[in-house]
Amino acid sequence: LAKTTQPISMDSYEGQEVNITCSHNNIATNDYITWYQQFPSQGPRFIIQGYKTKVTNEVASLFIPADRKSSTLSLPRVSLSDTAVYYCLVGPFTGGGNKLTFGTGTQLKVEL
Partner 1 sequence: GAVVSQHPSWVICKSGTSVKIECRSLDFQATTMFWYRQFPKQSLMLMATSNEGSKATYEQGVEKDKFLINHASLTLSTLTVTSAHPEDSSFYICSAPREQQFQETQYFGPGTRLLVL
Pick from 41, 58, 66, 67 the residue near partner 1 by CB under 8 A. Answer: 41
Site string (78-97) toward partner 1, x via CB under 8 A: ---------x-----xxxxx
Q: Which residues of 9-19 are buried (b: 16+ CB within 10 A; e: fewer)?
A: ebebeeeeebe
Pick from 2, 4, 34, 88 the residue near partner 1 by CB under 8 A. Answer: 34
Q: Which residues of 75-95 are buried (b: 16+ CB within 10 A; e: fewer)?
A: beebeeebbbbbbbbbbeeee
Q: Residues binding partner 1: what is the number (CB under 8 A)? A: 24
Pick from 17, 46, 52, 56 the residue near partner 1 by CB under 8 A. Answer: 46
